[in-house]
Amino acid sequence: MKTANKERLKNIAIADTDKLQVTLYLQKGSINKADTLIKLTGAKSRNDAIDRAINFYFGYISSELSQDFLCSVYGQQTEAMIKNMANRLARLDFKAAVELDMLVRLLCADLSLSKDDFNKMRSRAVEDVKRLNGSIDIYNAAIESNSDK
């Protein structure tokens, strides 16, 4: 059995599956746990049980690190997508507001509304939107406007 040292660990002629001897000091409780692992896992020896435990723990830690990394990347990507969508919506809202302002100005100019009439109409519109939770039926609004005259 070859002893593990820096040269042997760097030697590519020695396969990862080849066994090397190491000196290992363990607490009594850890040795008892290794013996229990032999019974639970069907390992052939303490060496086999400890080797399996190291491989399991390495996989566990590696997956935990990968999970943290992936969660971070996913979170950053999601945040960027939401920010991009918010910017698009803000630009669309601005364009819609400009078009709506132009429409209101044209309508007011065509109807020759006074400032008082406009303010009354606006306050009623605000009340209707609040009452209807933003869902306005244009047909019913037109009928109500015609009945007010």
Closest CA to 141 of 126, 125, 130: 125
Tally of residues, the chain: 149
pLDDT greater than 70 at residue 149:
no
pLDDT one-digit tens code per residue, 39-85? 998 899 999 999 999 989 988 888 887 887 788 888 888 989 999 99
21 - beta bridge partners?
A: 3
End-to-end CA distance of the chain: 105
**At 134, phi and psi to the nearest 5?**
85, -5
DSSP H or E stretch at residue 119: helix 115-131
When the pLDDT of each residue in the chain is averaged and rounded to a whole number, the result is: 85
Q: What is the pLDDT of residues 93-117, one digit of tens each?
A: 999 999 988 988 888 888 888 889 8
DSSP string of 24-52, one letter each residue = ----HHHHHHHHHHHHHHT-SSHHHHHHH
- The band of 28, judged by pLDDT with boundaries at 50, 70 and 90, is very high
**What is the reported pLDDT for 99?**
92
% of the chain beyond a pLDDT of 70: 96
Which tokens belong to 122? 């606006």
Nearest-angstrom CA–CA distance, 24 and 63? 26
